[in-house]
Chains A and B, each alone.
Chain A
Amino acid sequence: MISAQRLSKHYGDFRAVDGISFDVPAGEAFGLLGPNGAGKSTTMRMIGGVSQRTSGQLTIMGLDPEEHGPEVRAHLGVVPQQDNLDEELRVRDNLIVYGRYFGLPMSYLGPKADELLEFAQLTDKASAKVDALSGGMKRRLTIARSLINEPRILLLDEPTTGLDPQARHILWDRLFRLKEAGVTLILTTHYMDEAEQLCDRLVVVDKGQIMAEGSPAQLIRDHSTREVLELRFGSERNTTVAAELQGIGERLEPLPDRVLIYARDGEAALEEVSARGLKPLTSLVRRSSLEDVFLRLTGRSLVD
């Protein structure tokens, strides 16, 4: 449904997207994961047919968005990173005005707007002004708006950034239903739980390049161990103790606040720590998560 080959976008010397390739089949929920500035949004804007690529190939439903912009965009529903609702219009009118861009008739748009308001749990806000809505409500309205043309492909750029947990869970539920209805989801996020909840397959992107690709479980298998043992010895001692922990588990990562031991069996690793006579203040054995993979692949330093 979507195919990108060595897709690149440069701004002067800066390579925002630097030769990434992927294919997304129909009905898949595909995630682009990466730190800020990794090139996720730029990639989304190219898929969305609103930004020109510097080089590479890109087709959506077999069409090149640069040659068939309107045709490609007619297939898509787009949820941008920043809401761009018209705050001078009422909630329901925002949906209707947007539907008009697709040439949809009023006879369809009226009932459709009501249906989508219900889907987004905004029915009682139908005639409210947009600026009276909370952040979560605006986000839901933006998602409802993206569905007005019944797209088979939905592009979501950080759909839940800045939302409270309740609003995020409602959104996840709605997105999951769309997925069940066969809608192809392309989503960027830097929330690992979101990626694990929604994505069938994802790519980890950093500095405009793909670092890894696979399902969430497969990525964890390939790039981390089954379990992680977290030990805290107190801020001063963590690094010094690390030397004495060498050899336990498959990999060791000393951090300022704790030491992480990546191991297939966390409990066994912990026993070995005690056997060496080391007494951590706290210890925790947990399953490896996507977050471990992400940090391993993209590093722990801040990227701004």
Chain B
Amino acid sequence: MTEPRTTVPGDELALRPYRLHAHAPEVSASRARRFGTWYYAEHVLRSMRSYRWTLLASSVGTPVVYLFALGVGLATLVDQKSAEAFGGVSYLAFIAPALLASAAIMTAATEFTYPVMDGFKWRRVYYGPHASPLGTEQIVNGHVLAITLRLLASTVIYFLIIAAFGASPSPAGVLVVPVAVLTGLAFGLPLLAYAAGVEDDRGQFPLVMRFVVTPLFLFSGTFFPLETLPLFLRWIGWISPLWHGTELGRALTYGYELPGWLALVHGIVLVVLAVVGLYLARSVFARRLGR
């Protein structure tokens, strides 16, 4: 005869909730202080895993479609007409670095708008880690780190496809990858700071897309050299991270002639935008989470 059960199944566990042993709180705190940024990045990357196939498909699909349509389709017309207009390179080679940088901007614009709103307001994902040993700065840095890695991955894929199209003739071409990622951040981080301050969704993000991202995409020397624009419109390029990133990229992929000082200016503009954006974002996050 079996002995009658006196406890409900599972009860034994429940009575001793602390069967395993976590390390001491002091250890948690010092690890969080040191590696907190990475811990939060890990979280963001893990949640990306649930739509990894969508990400991969768009990372491959976008460049193929753009390069075919513009770099092959449109280019056959353009190249016939004006072989010299684009510094002696094919139209495909001319626009490839611009498309690469603008793809990074588009991705950054997607990642640093609605998901941020989601973190503060809808599903309030930021408030979980905020109650843990992580600091606000680490939440921001971790989010940015994860998105940077995502930008890096999709930019590498984009670049490989560009290379396969033969649109990056220079051996230094691969260096366009970090430049494009930096361009994405130079646009994305100020946007992150803005998005973190948005309390209610009244359609601000579509407005940003329509009236900021799209004009920048069209008027930053993307499809034609900025010099062909009338002077009173060129300022759009000058303030646009896309123009600075694209000019640098062109120098790298096909040896577009760029004086050293100007290359430096382009680099500085991108770095300054990204760094200022990051600092602003941190202070907006700290204010909003700490209320």
**A residues within 8 Å of B by Cβ?**
48, 50-52, 68-71, 73-76, 78, 80, 82, 84-89, 93, 97-98, 100-104, 108, 111-112, 115-116, 118-119, 121, 145, 147-151, 174, 177-178, 181
Contacts and interface: CB of A to CB of B under 8 A. Distances in A.
B32 interface: yes
B13 A98 contact: no
Contact of B131 (A52, A73, A115): A73
A180 to B, nearest CB: 8
B22 A149 contact: yes
Most buried by B among A50, A51, A70, A181: A70
B132 interface: yes
B123 A80 contact: no
A115 B13 CA distance: 7
Contacts of B124: 82, 84
Interface in B116-134: 123-134
A73 B132 contact: yes
Nearest to B42: A100
Which 6 pairs, one residue from A and one from B, show the smallest C-beta to C-beta distance? Answer: A103-B31, A101-B132, A74-B25, A74-B28, A102-B28, A84-B124
A50 B289 contact: yes
Nearest to A51: B290
Contacts of B39: 100-101, 103
B212 interface: no
Contacts of B47: 86, 88-89
Contacts of A98: 128-129, 132
Interface of B: 10, 13-23, 25-33, 35-36, 39-40, 42-43, 46-47, 50-51, 123-135, 289-291
A119 B17 contact: yes
Contact of A111 (B20, B131, B133): B20
A61 to B, nearest CB: 8
A31 B286 CA distance: 29
Nearest to B40: A101
Given A73-B133, A118-B10, 13 more contacts: A70-B33, A71-B133, A74-B25, A75-B25, A80-B127, A88-B50, A97-B46, A98-B132, A103-B39, A121-B10, A149-B25, A181-B16, A181-B17
Contact of A74 (B50, B133, B289): B133
Contact of B19 (A115, A149, A178): A115
A171 to B, nearest CB: 12
Contacts of A87: 123
Contact of B133 (A101, A108, A118, A121): A101
A51 B288 CA distance: 10
18 contacts: A50-B131, A68-B29, A73-B133, A82-B127, A89-B50, A102-B22, A102-B28, A102-B133, A103-B27, A104-B22, A111-B20, A112-B20, A115-B19, A118-B14, A149-B28, A150-B22, A181-B16, A181-B18
A49 to B, nearest CB: 8
Most buried by A among B39, B42, B128: B128
B241 to A, nearest CB: 29
A104 to B, nearest CB: 6
Contacts of B28: 70, 74, 102-104, 149
A80 to B, nearest CB: 6
B42 A102 contact: no
Contact of B130 (A50, A93, A116): A50
Contacts of B46: 89, 93, 97
A150 B129 contact: no
Contacts of B27: 103
Contacts of A75: 25
Given A73-B131, A74-B29, A74-B133, A177 B123 contact: no
